[in-house]
Amino acid sequence: MANINVGILEFEKVSQQPVEIVERKGTGHPDTICDALAEELSIALSNLYREEFGAIMHHNVDKALLIGGIADPQFKGGKIIEPIEIYLTGRAIDEKGNKKLPVKELAIETAHKWLKENIPNLDITNHVIIHPKLKPGSKDLVELFERFQLKGEIPLANDTSFGVGFAPFSDVETIVYELERALNSKEFKKEHPYVGEDIKIMGVRNHDNIRITIAMAFVDKYVNDIKDYVEKKEIVTNYAYSIAQRLTTKHVDIFINTADDIDNESVYITVTGTSAEAGDDGQVGRGNRVNGLITPYRPMSLEAAAGKNPVSHIGKIYNTAAMDMAERIVAEIEEVEEAYCYLVSQIGKPITEPQVCDVKLRVNGDLNKIKEKVMKIAQEELDKLPSTWQKFLNRHFRLY
Amino acid sequence: MANINVGILEFEKVSQQPVEIVERKGTGHPDTICDALAEELSIALSNLYREEFGAIMHHNVDKALLIGGIADPQFKGGKIIEPIEIYLTGRAIDEKGNKKLPVKELAIETAHKWLKENIPNLDITNHVIIHPKLKPGSKDLVELFERFQLKGEIPLANDTSFGVGFAPFSDVETIVYELERALNSKEFKKEHPYVGEDIKIMGVRNHDNIRITIAMAFVDKYVNDIKDYVEKKEIVTNYAYSIAQRLTTKHVDIFINTADDIDNESVYITVTGTSAEAGDDGQVGRGNRVNGLITPYRPMSLEAAAGKNPVSHIGKIYNTAAMDMAERIVAEIEEVEEAYCYLVSQIGKPITEPQVCDVKLRVNGDLNKIKEKVMKIAQEELDKLPSTWQKFLNRHFRLY
Amino acid sequence: MANINVGILEFEKVSQQPVEIVERKGTGHPDTICDALAEELSIALSNLYREEFGAIMHHNVDKALLIGGIADPQFKGGKIIEPIEIYLTGRAIDEKGNKKLPVKELAIETAHKWLKENIPNLDITNHVIIHPKLKPGSKDLVELFERFQLKGEIPLANDTSFGVGFAPFSDVETIVYELERALNSKEFKKEHPYVGEDIKIMGVRNHDNIRITIAMAFVDKYVNDIKDYVEKKEIVTNYAYSIAQRLTTKHVDIFINTADDIDNESVYITVTGTSAEAGDDGQVGRGNRVNGLITPYRPMSLEAAAGKNPVSHIGKIYNTAAMDMAERIVAEIEEVEEAYCYLVSQIGKPITEPQVCDVKLRVNGDLNKIKEKVMKIAQEELDKLPSTWQKFLNRHFRLY
Amino acid sequence: MANINVGILEFEKVSQQPVEIVERKGTGHPDTICDALAEELSIALSNLYREEFGAIMHHNVDKALLIGGIADPQFKGGKIIEPIEIYLTGRAIDEKGNKKLPVKELAIETAHKWLKENIPNLDITNHVIIHPKLKPGSKDLVELFERFQLKGEIPLANDTSFGVGFAPFSDVETIVYELERALNSKEFKKEHPYVGEDIKIMGVRNHDNIRITIAMAFVDKYVNDIKDYVEKKEIVTNYAYSIAQRLTTKHVDIFINTADDIDNESVYITVTGTSAEAGDDGQVGRGNRVNGLITPYRPMSLEAAAGKNPVSHIGKIYNTAAMDMAERIVAEIEEVEEAYCYLVSQIGKPITEPQVCDVKLRVNGDLNKIKEKVMKIAQEELDKLPSTWQKFLNRHFRLY
């Protein structure tokens, strides 16, 4: 039985405190691109290893660096001057017996595939250079992973680390998350191809006023001139407002590209739909947490989940587990209004046995009456950890 | 007058909650190395620009990637097989008129200098490759920075972003921070040269028990054999215990390198004192926050302060400002036991005028009686922001 | 009037000496790929500069490095494990006023375009990484080039260097050259898609026996098994024999892939048609001379013509000029059986005024009677040098 | 018995022909630096393999690329703006059983060591980046090399390739070679530290006039101003003249840095003593042949000897063997005035059995009388080939 604490959240709900800050970096943000490529590579490696070894072998590809290019965007279409460069880094077993496994090729192909699907205005052949800088890592770990995966032993924590999660989202959190999802949806893009994928949303609630600031890259070839830009920005502003206002009863204001200087025609247009084309660099783990948001008024882990191996890497699986745990507790126990979960591992111990599992709840009624239910859910979620890797391979979590 | 909220911290003190988690990545951790090199480069660039232009020009070097090497550590001294590689990335103006400024050379020299001083067992010529991947960035920003620095105008926020800070430290926070500082102090190293700089400390308090888990790289040439290793680990454990226990009345346990397998002589030794030599990669902004700690039970910003320009980069100056503000409020107003500060900017507005300045306090007595004092301090700290860059150049803050 | 010497070739014709050695590296050889990409880049830059400035500006991109990949070729189709990497290096002006010119993008796009057309089984997106490592070079040279190109002044030699040429080809030279051209022709490939582009031919004549050794990469997906390989090799051997024998009355033997070990099925198959996929590296200037051959029994320059600027770069324009001069003298003066030309520049002097122009002839009759004609042709070729750049832009020369 | 032809050199001696061209790129020339680093790496690898395996294992590191930096040289001392970058490329076995061999570290350390000794004004830590881009190459070759080295079998030719050599040097050849050696000698540098290592000498003889054009990088910190520069250039010119005139009875003129523009103080000064600091790129095999010279009036191989493995790599060992053979024939057979040797291999055959060994001689008297002696020497030199690797390890040859 794990060391599970269940306690009370004593402070006022974040949504009732005077101020609240929430941020989300959308699909085309340089940090999000790094997260996505790291995680896609982990999935591709996991699949390769399952084919070759019948099990997921050791890998950890949770570091990447995107070096922005140089671009010359123009209304009706500009051009790229220097390409974006992306370094994909980490450890991955690259041999099976004497057979060399194509892990570097996999990194390149996986990155190109994701970019092609998700940043369609980026020419993956000519405008981005993928540098696969993977190293083999220790061969000793092969055996360890075989034990986990082939013989069914419970994986051991790779590190002393922790994960955190909470549920449910406040209004501002919901707005920020849903708004980016809407603006980056295939349906919206079909009608509004001028909206690039690099959309960063900051939501600040000051008492009952929610101020949504959106930095959104326009795609230059779909914008004719400054007049057209202003009109299109207006269209998106109205659309965003309609979505946001549907999600809250509070007052909402929407601001898009507030740094634009319309008179000098200095506005946020790009060739590719991402600021990565011109100077904005990115890294893994510098953007959204596993729930898709950055929330300074909530507990956060600094661990980058993306790219870590899904079998035993605490920084990945404890964050999603804590999120799942919080969501289940809120969903399944009527009296619970809000849940925060914290999990801390001890290196070398089974992942199902954290040092601490700390659950804090906002309860309508008596905590003691539901404590057992909470502990049961928590324990169940811990017990499920050895098979969590399947969820990562199925892209079950938001993760970034 | 800025938009300053002053409110109450309603929840139980973190130090009185049942569980608390605190982490610090020491000097030689790959993430800390990245932070340090990014920040040192920002300082060096700032100094260069002041010499050349009389003012700090635009730069942002807050991304870096360390790709671990391959090493063969051995008792009495092993060797490096493949070097560490460090990519230093970002934007920095590299021309003055037709004169080319040595920003890439500066990146290399600054990195070598810091590494030589701080990771003394690393051969900076042969065991590490510095890749300066800086790009010039927009020339338009030159004029903007001249206005800030030469004409005394208040810098405008570069982004919609936020910073957070709190004070004071709990016992666990103090122990984790001070312990790393002690183990990495020049005095300690003089007597104990076998202790490498890569020291990661995780403190977990479960009610009245504080468990300190230390991952500490030994320097192989100063360790004769497995017996010697065990003895030296014992010495450090005792020393760490003596320091930690001095800082708290709670029960402390110290665990060093718990993954060691003494029987198989598989222990944590390194050639250079950092795990970067063999597979551990690093990035800027993935480690300690500006107060030197990672604290999931406290509000945290995900912004990497290191490497950002010290004049107008919100992700840097609002985090240190929030920390300073919290510390001053606690220090100067007797009734305040604890302070949390949140600052949110609006892109394009003067840095002295945040969207929101949210101050939450734990007060002995009536909040209303001290509200004015709090607001005065907050306003003073905001007013000082235009000269904060001097503190960064003087390395006044911990920062990582 | 240039300093022109006209003399006699006193030694026996190479084709009548007992031994003769001739080599050609075909289209897909790593060195030839480097030559081609360097030259294509020079042409692309020249065109860009003509558009932007109305004149070819300074550039020199005559260095490149191809780092071979890792591949796993298999009958019926194997796969690439690690990509080929190609570094394109040199100097190229990259600004016009404050406008940044896309020279790095041009390098990438030009390289991809050539590779796609010439190595069709290479996946240019995933199997090769182009690293454009161009630097701006001196701005002073802008003015110099404007004088040459816009004001019609005669370009000044960029260096003290030389070029050599000879005519006509011997039988062995003709065979080696034509054989590669035939095996790499579109017509032949259409019928024989299993023949890759990496074809290296060594011709050795020992008295009246010509031994042609061909190293030829097969494309694995078009070869079913070892039996099929042997049959296809036989087909190509017969075809090569038919071509070679048509070009000489001497005895010819053809040997293809003599290092094959048929019993162990260790034969020369590739995924992409080039050995660059698996370990063979390449550089500019290490392969064919400007006439398409490597001929140790003939005078050769070590200068790499490919990639040098076509306006004033002696290592390029003196080699083609010497070749043209030799060919014209042989073609236009009946008495001349063979011509060797040597041109030496003096740095800073007009390119039309070499230090020395040394012409050596094998003449049927009296040299003195034709000397004037020879000198006239030589002088005409020198006078034409200021417009030679047009021929390079039109891909008039073999060059590699 | 090898297939040895002995014939007559029928043409006039090069030294008696009207024109002669000879070039040498000195120690600090970018191409020479590449040659030197490639060869030093081959030696270091050979030594490592001998220690680890008791034999030289397969390697081929005959490709390198030097990308020039950016510098701001100034009288009394300027500075480096961007470092030189050097890519060292090729194949080298990097494992012994499960033990990883430090081949990349070796590449870095060897390069730094050579640069420190030979380009003393270059700061090896900060002004140059070494990129070791070695790949393991085929494991099958391990066994092959073991057979050669451990069991004493005769190595088999790695390729169908050739080597050429001649003896003796003409006056111009001697002058060009010796002059560079003198200007780059430790004794001369001691008195004249302002003379950098990048010295390129072009000798052109036009009948009885020898024109020596020297491009020589001055070291800026040892030159006070333009007047000092002019005086020092005068000193070196006189010294060079005294050396050159000692070596010939013909008329000699010396020209140093003819592109200097004294009035505008635009002269050839450098921070480091090599033009590599500012824009001149380099490659292996683009400079001097194995005898130290570039001689278009002599037979030349295009093979880069530097960096190739010394056991079985024809492009290396046949060039030095042909040179040795020519030198011995001239030295030991009184009647021989001049010798040219050509060697062609057949891939997969013992290196002692070339396809052709073609020896051409200028003889005082009857060729037939000495033919047997010549063939004996040639055969002896071929027989010695299996132990030639020792000479490379002892740096017995000039090689570049």
| pLDDT tens per residue across span D94-111 | 988 888 999 999 999 999
Beta strand B251-256 pairing with B209-219: parallel
- Torsion D339-D344-D348-D349 (CA) sign: negative
pLDDT at B145 over 80: no
C101: which chain A residues are within 8 Å (Cβ-Cβ)? Answer: 81
Please report, rounded to a whole number, the percentage of residues in chain C having pLDDT higher than 70. Answer: 96
| pLDDT tens per residue across span C338-349 | 999 999 998 888
The band of C138, judged by pLDDT with boundaries at 50, 70 and 90, is low
pLDDT at B34 over 60: yes
Please report, rounded to a whole number, the percentage of residues in chain C having pLDDT higher than 90. Answer: 84
Please tell me the distance in Å from A107's CA to the nearest CA on chain C. Answer: 10
Please tell me the distance in Å from A17's CA to the nearest CA on chain B. Answer: 9
pLDDT at D3 over 90: no
Please report, rounded to a whole number, the percentage of residues in chain A having pLDDT higher than 70. Answer: 96
pLDDT at A286 over 70: yes
Amino acid A111: pLDDT: 98
Task: Please indicate whether, in this complex, the C-beta atoms of B215 and A160 are within 8 angstroms of each other.
Answer: yes
**pTM value surpassing 0.90:** yes
Task: Please indicate whether, in this complex, the C-beta atoms of C342 and D5 are within 8 angstroms of each other.
Answer: no
The band of D75, judged by pLDDT with boundaries at 50, 70 and 90, is very high
pLDDT at A140 over 60: no
Indicate the range of B48-57, B223-232, C133-142, C310-319 predicted with least confidence: C133-142
Amino acid A12: pLDDT: 86
The rounded mean pLDDT for chain D is 93
pLDDT at C183 over 80: yes
Amino acid C365: pLDDT: 92
Which 3 state secondary structure label does DSSP give A192?
A: coil
Amino acid A18: pLDDT: 87
The amino acid sitting at B282 is G
Distance separating alpha carbons of residues C198 and C71, to the nearest angstrom: 15
CATH of region A171-283: 3.30.300.340
Work out the number of other CB atoms within 10 angstroms of the CB of residue A96. 14
Half-sphere exposure of C241 (CA within 13 A, CB side): 12
For C89, the token pair is 């290096």
pLDDT at C129 over 80: yes
Distance separating alpha carbons of residues A224 and D300, to the nearest angstrom: 61
Amino acid D348: pLDDT: 82
CATH 3.30.300.10 maps onto chain A at 30-147
**Does residue C109 belong to the interface with chain A, where contact is any CB pair within 8 Å?**
yes
| pLDDT tens per residue across span C11-68 | 889 999 888 999 999 999 999 999 999 999 999 999 999 999 988 998 999 999 999 9
Backbone φ/ψ region at B286: left (φ over 0), alpha (ψ -120 to 50), beta = alpha
Cβ atoms of residues B67 and B89 within 8 Å: no
Amino acid D137: pLDDT: 73
CATH 3.30.300.280 maps onto chain C at 4-17+160-169+287-394
Please tell me the distance in Å from C101's CA to the nearest CA on chain A. Answer: 7
D348: which chain C residues are within 8 Å (Cβ-Cβ)? Answer: 258-259
DSSP string, D17-58: SSEEEEEEE-TTSHHHHHHHHHHHHHHHHHHHHHHHHSSPPP
Q: Which of A294, A347, A358 sits opposite B18 (nearest CB)?
A: A358
Distance separating alpha carbons of residues A355 and B206, to the nearest angstrom: 9
pLDDT at C224 over 90: yes
Interface residue of D86, D283, D349 to substitute, partner C, most C CBs within 10 Å: D283
Distance separating alpha carbons of residues D300 and D319, to the nearest angstrom: 9
Which 3 state secondary structure label does DSSP give A226?
A: helix
pLDDT at C229 over 60: yes
- To which H or E segment does residue B42 belong? helix B30-53
DSSP string, C6-22: EEE--SPPGGGSSEEEE
The band of A98, judged by pLDDT with boundaries at 50, 70 and 90, is confident
DSSP string, A227-295: HHHHHHHHHHHHHHHHHHHHT-SSEEEEEE-TT-BTTTTB--EESSSSGGGGT--EETTSS--TTS-B-
pLDDT at D345 over 70: yes
pLDDT at A38 over 80: yes
The band of D29, judged by pLDDT with boundaries at 50, 70 and 90, is very high
Distance separating alpha carbons of residues B136 and B37, to the nearest angstrom: 19
CATH of region A4-17+160-169+287-394: 3.30.300.280
What count of residues does chain B have? 400
Residue keyed to tokens 């391979």: A393
Amino acid A1: pLDDT: 56
> How many CB pairs below 8 A link A and B?
167
The rounded mean pLDDT for chain B is 94
Using omega within 30 degrees of 0 as the cis cutoff, is the peptide bond preceding B310 cis? no
Work out the number of other CB atoms within 10 angstroms of the CB of residue B242. 12
Please report, rounded to a whole number, the percentage of residues in chain B having pLDDT higher than 90. Answer: 84
Distance separating alpha carbons of residues B89 and B71, to the nearest angstrom: 26
CATH of region A30-147: 3.30.300.10
Which residue from A minimizes the CA distance to B85?
A133
Task: Please indicate whether, in this complex, the C-beta atoms of A105 and C125 are within 8 angstroms of each other.
Answer: no
Amino acid A136: pLDDT: 86
pLDDT at A223 over 90: yes
For B156, the token pair is 């405008």
Task: Please indicate whether, in this complex, the C-beta atoms of D105 and B126 are within 8 angstroms of each other.
Answer: yes
CATH 3.30.300.340 maps onto chain B at 171-283
pLDDT at D117 over 60: yes
Please report, rounded to a whole number, the percentage of residues in chain A having pLDDT higher than 90. Answer: 84
Task: Please indicate whether, in this complex, the C-beta atoms of C342 and D213 are within 8 angstroms of each other.
Answer: no
| pLDDT tens per residue across span B322-353 | 999 999 999 999 999 999 999 999 888 899 99
Q: How far apart are the first and last CA of chain B?
A: 32
| pLDDT tens per residue across span B88-100 | 999 999 988 888 9
> What mean pLDDT is predicted for residues D295-306?
92
Q: Which of C83, C99, C100 sits opposite A104 (nearest CB)?
A: C83
Please report, rounded to a whole number, the percentage of residues in chain D having pLDDT higher than 70. Answer: 96
> What mean pLDDT is predicted for residues C86-109?
93
| pLDDT tens per residue across span D156-193 | 888 888 899 999 999 999 999 999 999 999 999 999 99
D131: which chain B residues are within 8 Å (Cβ-Cβ)? Answer: 129
Q: What angle do CA B268, B273, B278 make, to 5 degrees?
A: 65
**Does residue B133 belong to the interface with chain D, where contact is any CB pair within 8 Å?**
no
Interface residue of C41, C201, C358, C362 to substitute, partner D, most D CBs within 10 Å: C358
Amino acid A138: pLDDT: 61
pLDDT at D1 over 70: no
Q: Which of A99, A100, A126 sits opposite C105 (nearest CB)?
A: A126
Cβ atoms of residues A247 and A178 within 8 Å: yes
What does the CA dihedral C179, C180, C182, C185 come to, rounded to 10 degrees?
A: 180
pLDDT at B371 over 60: yes
Residue keyed to tokens 């680390």: A161
Task: Please indicate whether, in this complex, the C-beta atoms of A18 and B5 are within 8 angstroms of each other.
Answer: yes
Task: Please indicate whether, in this complex, the C-beta atoms of B67 and A133 are within 8 angstroms of each other.
Answer: yes
> What mean pLDDT is predicted for residues C83-112?
94
Distance separating alpha carbons of residues D307 and D287, to the nearest angstrom: 14
- Torsion C378-C380-C382-C384 (CA) sign: negative
C82: which chain D residues are within 8 Å (Cβ-Cβ)? Answer: 135
Q: Which of B206, B215, B356 sits opposite A356 (nearest CB)?
A: B206
Q: What angle do CA D318, D324, D328 make, to 5 degrees?
A: 145
Amino acid B168: pLDDT: 97
The band of B159, judged by pLDDT with boundaries at 50, 70 and 90, is confident
DSSP conformation class of B13 = P
Task: Please indicate whether, in this complex, the C-beta atoms of B82 and D72 are within 8 angstroms of each other.
Answer: no
**Residue A203 exposed, middle or buried by CB count within 10 Å (0-12, 13-18, 19+):** buried
Distance separating alpha carbons of residues A273 and A217, to the nearest angstrom: 6
Residue C306 or residue D19, greater confidence:
C306
Neighbours of chain D (3+ CB pairs under 8 A): B, C
pLDDT at D142 over 90: no
pLDDT at B1 over 60: no
Task: Please indicate whether, in this complex, the C-beta atoms of D80 and B105 are within 8 angstroms of each other.
Answer: yes
Which residue from B minimizes the CA distance to A260?
B348
The band of D144, judged by pLDDT with boundaries at 50, 70 and 90, is low
Work out the number of other CB atoms within 10 angstroms of the CB of residue D76. 11
The rounded mean pLDDT for chain A is 93
Amino acid D346: pLDDT: 83
pLDDT at B204 over 60: yes
Q: What angle do CA D5, D6, D9 make, to 5 degrees?
A: 125
Cβ atoms of residues B179 and B244 within 8 Å: yes
Residue A225 or residue D296, greater confidence:
A225
The amino acid sitting at C292 is G
